[in-house]
Homo-oligomer: A and B are copies of this chain.
Amino acid sequence: MIDHSADRAVFRQLADLLRNSIASGELGPGEPLPSELRLAQDYGISRTTVRQAIGQLRTEGLVTVDRPRGTFVRVPEAVQTVTLGRGERVGARMPTDAERRKHRLAEGVPVLVVTAADGAETVHPADRVQLARP
């Protein structure tokens, strides 16, 4: 499973394995990942390396951590559709730490930024909002 002589870093290899398990449905939404200690023992690597791999998946928005219960495959949020006004433009970026706390955003979730004609910006959590052209 893990190839220590490979070019790709061990933590990236583990992230790939876990990502594939999620993509294939082997690890479904809401299901827990094995604990960090368990993964470390199973693959014969340190807990530090396991945490790097899980950190990768967190930044990708694939898993959420409920400390100290465990790490779980993210469950998709209900998506609300917002209609775009005339002449509005849409961009996306990562929120800052302060924005994350303010809007209670999960890790790895971008924000949609809607810029009105007058330059006013509105921010929407990208895991709960989709924008539609009428």
Contacts and interface: CB of A to CB of B under 8 A. Distances in A.
Contact of A60 (B15, B60, B94, B115): B94
Mostly helix, strand, loop or mixed at chain A's interface?
Answer: mixed
Interface residues of A, number: 38
Q: How many copies of this chain sit in the oligomeric assembly?
A: 2
Contact of A94 (B59, B81, B129): B59
Contacts of A87: 132-133
Contact of A86 (B56, B79, B86, B133): B133
Given A16-B97, A59-B59, A84-B84, 17 more contacts: A60-B95, A87-B133, A88-B133, A89-B130, A89-B132, A89-B133, A90-B130, A90-B131, A90-B132, A91-B126, A91-B129, A91-B130, A93-B109, A93-B127, A94-B110, A110-B110, A110-B126
